[in-house]
Structure 1
Amino acid sequence: DGEIEDIESLIFSLGSIKSATNNFSEANKLGEGGFGPVYK
């Protein structure tokens, strides 16, 4: 196909991420990926 398509990225504030993960609680950690911890 060869076409390049633009996509939009979502931007989240640190405050909203801390709130969603309960301040990066270990209880919300799913594991580690190539770019760091992964939280639910």
Structure 2
Amino acid sequence: MSQHPLIVLFESGIWHQKKKNIVLIHMKIRLRLINQLYLYV
């Protein structure tokens, strides 16, 4: 193993947080689009 296990855990934790944030952003955008569609209908 070239990297320290804690560093790997930390990096994967950061990646997991980023993925979670991206999913939340996508959901917010989707909700906004749906709200706009309902306003137009």
What's the TM-score, normalizing by structure 2? Answer: 0.18
Structure with more of its chain in strand, by fraction: 1
Q: Which has the greater radius of gyration?
A: 2
Which structure is higher in helix share? 2
Per the normalisation by structure 1, the TM-score is: 0.18
Per chain length, whose mean CA-contact separation is higher, i.e. which structure has more relative contact order (CA < 8 Å, sep 6+)? Answer: 1
